Chain A
Amino acid sequence: MSSETIHTEHHDDHAEHDTMTKKRIWNVFFILLGITVIEFIIALWLVPQHHIPVTAANPIYIVLTLFKAFFIVAYFMHLKFERIGLVFAIIVPVLFIIGLILVLTNESHHWIDLRAF
């Protein structure tokens, strides 16, 4: 039994050392930089030149931002290589934040009718 435990721990150790190499770090950096450049192209060229409307640009920004957040948390913060239990312990509470965002954006569309100014 104990030999099996040692074996699995050794395996985890090995997996962790394999995960974040220098090459991978720079790959993630260029992905983050690339996404930021795309955001700038949208903000400085596509929207001012009326290639796409602002109402379409905003959801695109949010999706791109969530992509950046994924890469930072998964690779730089190493969460992708942690045990599934820890991943869920961190990710599931964030769903409450998303819930609050949905409630309050919906609510704020009604507040606009209540404003007297």
Chain B
Amino acid sequence: MSTTVSPIDEVKTTPWAGGRSPFAVEYGKMMMWFFLLSDAFTFSSLLISYGALRFSSNAWPAPDLVFQSVPGMIEHGAPLVFVGLMTFILIMSSVTMVLAVEAGHRNAKKEVIGWMIGTIIGGLMFLGCQALEWSHLHSEGFWWGAIPNMETLKELFHGAPSTTYAHQFANLFFTITGFHGFHVFSGVVINIIITINVLKGTYEKRGSYLMVEKVGLYWHFVDLVWVFVFTFFYLV
């Protein structure tokens, strides 16, 4: 009986040697990552078509002229203030989400509930702001396939206004922010479901708050997409 094991018979323990997941993450979490990757491709295709159309245009509605009102408060002369508020709300709700995940690691049920409710409120506030923003643009005359009259358009371009590019802007703006807003809405619904489960003690019984972590990934992704939408629609 020899006790030495020949190198070829030795059981390897490297991540890719088999017998266990090389990614060392739970199945659902890995699938969430791959779903987010596919969602990133969808958003990218939308944003890339926006970029290609805008780069190939001779004129474009200027962001500092289109987005210069705070609905219900300031009509003109406050460019980017309202969208700045929206960005702050969404980043803030991302922080409360990650704090909920952190509390989940410590199995602190009450803290998880508190931060989750904070995240839901942040999401609802963002949706409310977006509704105001949409209704403001709609009252100016923008909608899918609809643009304001020439008088209004002159105020929205730095140079000569173009109805073609105003149409492109309207369609792309409502499609892309709408698709993002739909993601925020789904995120809020999912967060509410998870919060109810936390309240019921589902994850306490399970012994891990991994589900909070998974919806957290989705929520941060929504925040991530907004960072890009914000840059390409409002800043550039």
Contacts and interface: CB of A to CB of B under 8 A. Distances in A.
B51 A104 contact: yes
A72 B227 contact: yes
A61 B236 contact: yes
Residue of A44, A75, A76, A78 with highest tally of chain B CB at under 10 A? A76
A78 B213 CA distance: 10
B84 A40 contact: yes
A33 B91 CA distance: 8
* B interface, size bucket: 35 or more
A56 interface: no
A112 B23 contact: no
Interface string B115-130: 0000000000000000
B73 interface: no
Interface string B161-201: 01010000000000000000000000000000000000000
Interface string A32-66: 11001001101110001000000001100110110
A72 B13 contact: no
B48 A17 contact: no
Contact of A86 (B25, B48, B51, B87): B25
A77 B24 contact: no
A101 B181 CA distance: 23
A57 B231 CA distance: 11
B137 interface: no
A80 interface: no
A12 B64 contact: no
A3 to B, nearest CB: 11
Contacts of B97: 76
B22 A8 contact: no
A8 B13 CA distance: 9
B231 A25 contact: no
Contacts of B234: 43
B95 interface: yes
Contact of A83 (B22, B44, B52): B22
Interface in B62-120: 64, 79-80, 84, 87-88, 91-92, 94-95, 97-99, 101-102, 105
A7 B97 CA distance: 31
A68 B231 CA distance: 11
Closest 3 CB pairs of A and B: A111-B56, A108-B55, A108-B56
